[in-house]
Structure formats: structure tokens, C-alpha cells
């Protein structure tokens, strides 16, 4: 498996991937043309905000399974085209939260105590102690707009400065705000009452120009305004006007409406405006965490596990990831068994999640079932991203239901697959990270770990059948490592299910011979 790193990322992330046996080529600064030329050789690609990963590049990327964005915004990646092509796109949300929160606090202090101006003055040979009288933070009200990851960390730190913290975030629960000692207010109240206003919302249609002329109008005299989120959330023109009016004590900006900004802008002429060049995430620690988050997901993906931070797949919390991992393997294997038994003829899939599983986001598992089913007909290039759109394209109906009650197991996946020539019911469960089992096939109770070479067969329950099968395999040099006979009912007779675990795959001839044996009705080989 080959990974191309097309931007600078932390060396620990590279070591992490190499340790897992991945071959990592580090080529920071690749431009799009070079990338397009070499991308066909790689299974995974890591970029930062450049180079652009366009549809043209994705078309050339025949082996590519995952694109990692070492950061948050994925504007430089054609995510919808990657999704169409079955490529997972992952990012690293949260990796730079604390660094950005710390910069925000630094900006508040710099603005309140005029640190950059004082520094400049001393370096220019002046000793102007009276000029740099600042403001204390203690007892002041800070208004945080957007109490997400960064806003929350800013709130925590502001409390340590003995500040009164209020926040505006219509999408956050009161409980979350209470946790950090924040009073939730509406925007109007925040803007009117805060001594320091800091924005931590994403840039959306709703938040663009969230702070404009009208809001500056309502603000207290001597307010400090901070933007370490995205340029344009605070309207720059309105800010300039407010600065000119003298209402604003100081502003501090890490981000701008265009980046790099127009350096001739009036914004840069005010002494009380502290500026930094979008460095919120620029710490060694943030780079290391971001790199590790991406490396983990690349390793997960290339080893066939779910990823944690996919942009085009549901995200999983670390706890759900642990819990769902064995079910994910199980779901795929159940799909494989069904497809093989129905010889690839299936039109409808009904999946039921029972027990604890019913409380979880199971969309990953349904994707895995489809992957297992479709692989039988379309080969191994199907993955968790491409499986649902391909199933839809092929007219396969998928029904998902959840039932919280189970009788005997903590959680069960039940699946019924219906096709032109028949149907199959399979159920499975898990007892922990590496222990997942199929517990029923149609009406037959079984209990096996679906890993290895299996032959599933229906036979008449009469003396001699099993012996004949053993003789056939022995004669062909195939060792039977395990056998399960899933008898339905207590009485002998009728049609029963046999599962053979063999050390080597049988040839088509051996399978055909098995189907011809007296008492054997059918035989399907499945590599699980």
C-alpha cells in the first residue's frame, strides 16, 4: 500500500504509517500537474490546503482509496467527485482546537494590554510607560459567538481569568454551556453587554457579516473585538468605521476577508488593531495532532477498518468506533455469504439491528452489508463509500430497521436478502472486538467465526452423507479443519445445513463432485 504525502505534515504521522507497513513517499510542494502524473501509483493521498485535488486528478487515481486533509476545510478537494469514485475523504477536526483557543486568549491579552504596540515602542528606543495603560480582564464580560470546540475552550480559559462568560450559539444545548459555566444569551444581548466579543462560528451564509454596522452600533463603548475564526464573519468595513468612531478600544484579527489581505486596507493603519497572519493552528502540537489523526484514518482505511473522520461517510466517536468495529466485519461477511448462496441474484435487502446496536448510527454497517453483497458481482473495488450509490444504481432496495429489544444477545444484526431465485436469512452477533459470529443461516442455528475457507451445503439428514463428504475431501488432499451441522429441530431426518471449514479452497471439480454425492443438495464455496 503506497501513501503520497503532497504537503508538509508532521514526521510522527509519517513514522506511524510506516510502522504499519505502508510505503510512504513524501513530496511536499507538489503542484497539480505533477500530482496528476504520479497519482495512479498511490492508494492514499495526504494534502493540506494545497494542492487542489480536482476531478481530473481523481480520474487518474485508479488505485486511490482515501484522501486525507491534514486540517479541517476541504475546499481544495472535489469531495463529491471523490464520493462518486468511491474514495473516502477524511479530515482532522479538533486537532487545532486548543491552539486556536490559546491564540484567541493571546490576542485578547495583546489587545487589552497593548503588548504589540509596547513592544514596538521599546524596540524603537522609547520608554513610554504612561502610553500603554491597559485593561484588566478580571471581572469583565466576554461574549463568545459560537460555543463549539474552540468557543468552549476559550470559555474555559476565560473563566480562569475570572471573567463573566456569556455565549450566543443557537445550536448548542444549555447543558453543554452550563458544563463550562457559560450563560447562553441571544445575539442582541451579547453584543450589548460584552466587554470583549470573540467569534468562533464557521463561515456560512448565515454567519457571513454576522457582526456588521448594526451590531457595532449596539456595542458598549470601549469594547474589544476578536476574530480568530474566518474572515468576513466580522464585516471589515463596519469594523473600520467603528474603529474610526473611537468606540472600539481594540480589535485583534488572525483572519481576513481575503487572504493574504489587501495590505493597503485602512485596517492596517490603526494602532489599536493587532494582526497575525492566520496562525491559529500553527503550533507544533496542533500539527502533530492533525498529522496523527490523518495517519490513524489512513491506517484504518487501508487495513479495512472504519475511519473516524470521513467527510463523505458518517463520523464515529472513539467509543462507537470500538463498539461497531466487529459488527462492521460481521456485516460485510454476512453480505458475502448471502451473495454467494444466492449466486449474486439479489434485489432486496432487509437489515434489522437489535439490542444496543439499535441505539447506534448503523449506516456504516448497512454500507458494509452492501459491500459484501456487491463484491460478489463487481469485485474487490467496492468500498463503504461507493457501495450505497452502486446498489441504488442497480435498483437494489435496502430497508433498515431497529429494534431495541433482544432476547439472548446484547446486539444482533439480522439480514434477509431476497432475489429472483430465492432468499436467505442470516443473523450474527459479537462478543467483543475480535469475536464476531454468525449465529443463524435460514432456520438453522449455527455458531462460527466467518473467517477462512468455508463450504456451505444443504444435505439430507441420513447416515453416510457426512462420511462421503469427508472421503471426497480427503481423496483430494483438502484438510477439513472444522465442521458444523446446523440441525433444525430435534428429530433426525429432513434437510439440514452443513458448514465445512477447509484449509485450502476446493477446485470447481471437487465442488461439483460434492454436489453429486448421494444426499447432498447443494454446495457453495465462500472465502470469508
Q: Which of 30, 24, 25, 23 is nearest to 7 (CA)?
A: 30
Determine whether 230 is an active site residue: yes
Among 203, 220, 237, 356, binds ligand NAD (CB under 6 A): 203
Task: From residue 430, give the alpha-carbon distance in Å to each of 250, 439, 448, 527.
Answer: 59, 10, 11, 20
Residues 69 and 91 sit within 8 Å (Cβ to Cβ): yes
* Between 6 and 228, CB nearer to ligand NAD: 228
Helix (H) or strand (E) run with residue 465 in it: helix 465-475
CB of 210 to ligand NAD, least distance (A): 6
CB of 363 to ligand NAD, least distance (A): 21
Binders of ligand NAD among 153-172, rule CB under 6 A?
168-172
Determine whether 303 is an active site residue: no
Query: In the stretch 487-516, what mask flags binding to ligand NAD with x, by CB under 6 A?
Result: ------------------------------
CB of 152 to ligand NAD, least distance (A): 7
Q: H helices within 180-249, ranges in order?
A: 187-193, 213-218, 236-245
Determine whether 459 is an active site residue: no
Q: Which stretch binds ligand NAD (CB under 6 A): 116-124, 198-206, 297-305, 479-487?
A: 198-206
Q: Does 150 sit near ligand NAD (CB under 6 A)? A: yes
Binders of ligand NAD among 9-48, rule CB under 6 A?
none
Q: Does 100 sit near ligand NAD (CB under 6 A)? A: yes
Q: Does 91 sit near ligand NAD (CB under 6 A)? A: no
Which residues are CB-contacts of 184 (< 8 A; sequence separation ≥ 6)?
147, 166, 167, 168, 169, 172, 174, 177
For ligand NAD, the nearest residue by Cβ is 148
DSSP label of 308: S
Query: In the stretch 63-82, what mask flags binding to ligand NAD with x, by CB under 6 A?
Result: --------------------
Among 56, 60, 135, 149, binds ligand NAD (CB under 6 A): 149
Strands 223-227 and 196-199: parallel
Which residues are CB-contacts of 345 (< 8 A; sequence separation ≥ 6)?
419, 420, 421
Q: Half-sphere exposure of residue 169, counting CA atoms within 13 Å on the CB side?
A: 29
Number of helices (H), then strands (E), belonging to the chain: the values are 17, 22
**What is the C-alpha separation between 527 and 293, in angstroms, rounded?**
33
**What is the C-alpha separation between 330 and 371, in angstroms, rounded?**
12
Among 110, 112, 219, 281, binds ligand NAD (CB under 6 A): 281
Q: Which residues bind ligand NAD (CB under 6 A)?
A: 96-97, 100, 145-151, 168-172, 200-203, 206-207, 228-230, 254-255, 278, 280-281
Residues with active-site annotation: 230, 259, 278
Amino acid at each position: 500500500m503506497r501513501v503520497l504525502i503532497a504537503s508538509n505534515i508532521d514526521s510522527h504521522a509519517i513514522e506511524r504509517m510506516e510502522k504499519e507497513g505502508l510505503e510512504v513517499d513524501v513530496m511536499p510542494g507538489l503542484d497539480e500537474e505533477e500530482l496528476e502524473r504520479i497519482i495512479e501509483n498511490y492508494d492514499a493521498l495526504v494534502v493540506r490546503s494545497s494542492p487542489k485535488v480536482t476531478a481530473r486528478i481523481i480520474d487518474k487515481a485508479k488505485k486511490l482509496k482515501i484522501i486525507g486533509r491534514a486540517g479541517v476545510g476541504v475546499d481544495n478537494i472535489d469531495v463529491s467527485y471523490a464520493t462518486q469514485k468511491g474514495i473516502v475523504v477524511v479530515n482532522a477536526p479538533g486537532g487545532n482546537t486548543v491552539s486556536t483557543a490559546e491564540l484567541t486568549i493571546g490576542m485578547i491579552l495583546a489587545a487589552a494590554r497593548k503588548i504589540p504596540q509596547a513592544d514596538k515602542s521599546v524596540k524603537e528606543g522609547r520608554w513610554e510607560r504612561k502610553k500603554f495603560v491597559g485593561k484588566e480582564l478580571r471581572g469583565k464580560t466576554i461574549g463568545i459567538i459560537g460555543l463549539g470546540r474552540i468557543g468552549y475552550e476559550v470559555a474555559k480559559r476565560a473563566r480562569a481569568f475570572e471573567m463573566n462568560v456569556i455565549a450566543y450559539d443557537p445550536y448548542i444545548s444549555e447543558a453543554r454551556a452550563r458544563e463550562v459555566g457559560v450563560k447562553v444569551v441571544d445575539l442582541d444581548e451579547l453584543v450589548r453587554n460584552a466587554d470583549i466579543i470573540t467569534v468562533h462560528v464557521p463561515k456560512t451564509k448565515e454567519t457571513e457579516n454576522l457582526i456588521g454596522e448594526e451590531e457595532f452600533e449596539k456595542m458598549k463603548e470601549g469594547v474589544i473585538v476578536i476574530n480568530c475564526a474566518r474572515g468576513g464573519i466580522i464585516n471589515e468595513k463596519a469594523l473600520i468605521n467603528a474603529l474610526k468612531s473611537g468606540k472600539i478600544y481594540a480589535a485583534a484579527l488572525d483572519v481576513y476577508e481575503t487572504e493574504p489581505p489587501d495590505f493597503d486596507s485602512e485596517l492596517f493603519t490603526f494602532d489599536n488593531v493587532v494582526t497575525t497572519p492566520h496562525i491559529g493552528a500553527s503550533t507544533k502540537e496542533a500539527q502533530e495532532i492533525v498529522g496523527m489523526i490523518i495517519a490513524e484514518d489512513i491506517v484504518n482505511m487501508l487495513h479495512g477498518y472504519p475511519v473516524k473522520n470521513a467527510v463523505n461517510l458518517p463520523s464515529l466517536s472513539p467509543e462507537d468506533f470500538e463498539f461497531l468495529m466487529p459488527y462492521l466485519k460481521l456485516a460485510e461477511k454476512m453480505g458475502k455469504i448471502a451473495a454467494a448462496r444466492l449466486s449474486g441474484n439479489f434485489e432486496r435487502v432487509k437489515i434489522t439491528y437489535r439490542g444496543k446496536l439499535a441505539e447506534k448510527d448503523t449506516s456504516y454497517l448497512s454500507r458494509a452489508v452492501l459491500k459484501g453483497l456487491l463484491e460478489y458481482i463487481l469485485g474487490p473495488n467496492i468500498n463503504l463509500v461507493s457501495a450505497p450509490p452502486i446498489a441504488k444504481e442497480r435498483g437494489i432496495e435496502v430497508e433498515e430497521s431497529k429494534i431495541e429489544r433482544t432476547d439472548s444477545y446484547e446486539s444482533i444484526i439480522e439480514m434477509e436478502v431476497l432475489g429472483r431465485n430465492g432468499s436467505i436469512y442470516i443473523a450474527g452477533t459479537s462478543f467483543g472486538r475480535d469475536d464476531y459470529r454468525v449465529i443463524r443461516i435460514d432456520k438453522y442455528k449455527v455458531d462460527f467465526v466467518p473467517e477462512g475457507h468455508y463450504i456451505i451445503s444443504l444435505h439430507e439428514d441420513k447416515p453416510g452423507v457426512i462420511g462421503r463428504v469427508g472421503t471426497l475431501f480427503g481423496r483430494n488432499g483438502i484438510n477439513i479443519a472444522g465442521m458444523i451441522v446446523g440441525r433444525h429441530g430435534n428429530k433426525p431426518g429432513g434437510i439440514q445445513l452443513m458448514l465445512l471449514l477447509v484449509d485450502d479452497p476446493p477446485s470447481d471439480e471437487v465442488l461439483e463432485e460434492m454436489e453429486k454425492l448421494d444426499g447432498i443438495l447443494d454446495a457453495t464455496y465462500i472465502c470469508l
